Structure formats: structure tokens, C-alpha cells
Amino acid sequence: MKLHGYFRSSAAFRVRIALNLKGIEAEQAFVHLRKGEQKAAPFAGLNPHKLVPALEVDGRVLTQSLAIVEYLDETHPEPPLLPGDPLGRARVRSLALAVACDIHPLNNLRVLQRLKAMGHSQAEVDGWYRHWIAEGLDGLEAQLAGDPQTGRFCHGNAVSLADVCLVPQMTNARRFDCDLSGYPTLRRIEEACLAIPAFADALPEHQPDAEA
């Protein structure tokens, strides 16, 4: 397997966590998003959407981090990243999609770059980022806090796809100096996850392509 990613990409971070949790060794290829390498050959030939991550496996190319993580979960079932019951799976996917579909796309690099190109100042772009982080994390905190299904992690006491999505989003929010004081449940779960080497080793600063 070969993972095409970028140290700061939270979508690639999700896949790194899943690979680590499953104990899968994957070769890494680095796509420098700030230099626009995702928009040109060879990467754009692998993923016409021009977004990382992409995972090469058995001569095929998988894209979309959640599809990749579910593929890894199906082919390497231990430890499972989705609960065994349909209601549990729906809850975990709902939490994961709140990050991957409702928060992350609004704050993607190309969206922030487009806002700048339209003439918005850096302060306005930062405000946009923090606004959507707050909207999304407010919802997640309310969804998780006080729900007996929430345990040490987002769903009970085993890590799941929901944690795989939450931790990179929290890391990203910290990078943009978002105020996370109002999210005690999210911070507690983040801390529990980062105590696990599979999560900590996947942090941006621990990647071979990390930059200051």
C-alpha cells in the first residue's frame, strides 16, 4: 500500500490513524498542498479531485478518507472501527460525517484560498474558519456530552471511526487558535485518543514531511 498525503492534511491524518491502529505498514508519498502539488501530475492523475489522501492498493487507487478507512476496516477487522450493531454504526458514522461532511469541507485549503482570491483579508478568512469550527464543534459537544453511549471515546470505550475523524479536526482547530474551552467532552476524548500511540504517531508534527 502507498498512502499519498500531506502532514497537515486532516483527511490524510484520519487514514494514518487507521493504518496505525490496524498495524498496517504503508509506504508514504508526500504531496505538498501549499505548493499546489495536488493540482498537477503525477498526483492529479491519481485523484482527479486533486485532494489528498489517496491510497494505492493492489494496483487500484482509493480516494475519500472515510471510504479508505472503511476499506481498511473491512480488510483488517481488528480492532474494529465500527460497532457491531446497526444503531451503534449509525451513531458513529453520524459523528464522523459531522466532521468530514459538515465542518472540514468548509475550511479546506482551496476554500480558504478562494476567499483570499475574492479579496477577503487574512483576518476575515481566519474568522470564517473559526466560525465553522465553532458551529460544528458546538454540535458535536452537545451530541456527545451527557449521552450514555459516549464513554472514554466517542462511542463507548473502544476507539471508532468517530475518534479517527474528531482528533484531526481538533488538531486543526488548535493550529488556527480556535477557543476550545467550551468543549470539555471533545477535549477529554481527544486526550484519551492521543494517549494511544496509533493516534499520537499520526500527528502532523511526527510525519517525515513535517515543516515548521
* Binding site residues, ligand GSH, CB under 6 A: 9-11, 33, 38, 51-53, 64-66, 100, 108-110
Residue among 1 and 185 whose Cβ is closer to ligand GSH: 1
Secondary structure of residue 1 in the 3-state scheme = coil
- Pairing assessment for the beta strands 2-5 and 60-63 based on DSSP bridges: unpaired
Residue nearest to ligand GSH (CB): 110
Helix axes 109-117, 122-144, angle to 10 degrees: 140
Question: In angstroms, what is the minimal distance from the CB of 146 to ligand GSH?
Answer: 29
Nearer to ligand GSH, 9 or 150 (CB): 9
Residue 100's alpha-carbon distances to 13, 21, 64, 96, 106, in angstroms, are 12, 19, 10, 6, 10
What residue spans of the chain are helical by DSSP H? 10-22, 43-46, 65-75, 86-97, 109-117, 122-144, 161-175, 184-194, 197-200
Q: How far is the CB of 82 from ligand GSH (least distance, A)?
A: 16
Cβ nearer to ligand GSH, comparing 20 with 150:
20
- How many Cβ atoms from other residues are within 10 Å of residue 77's Cβ? 11
Instruction: Give the SS3 label for residue 82.
Output: coil
CB of 172 to ligand GSH, least distance (A): 8
Burial of residue 115 (number of CB atoms within 10 Å: 0-12, 13-18, 19+): middle
Cβ 157 to ligand GSH shortest distance, Å: 26
Q: Which is nearer to ligand GSH, 64 or 143 (CB)?
A: 64
Which lies closer to ligand GSH via its Cβ, residue 137 or residue 192? 137
* Residue 5 Cβ vs ligand GSH, minimum distance, rounded to whole Å: 8
Q: Evaluate whether 5 touches 59 at the Cβ level (below 8 Å).
A: no
66 vs 193 by CB, closer to ligand GSH: 66
Shortest reach from residue 30's CB to ligand GSH, in Å: 12
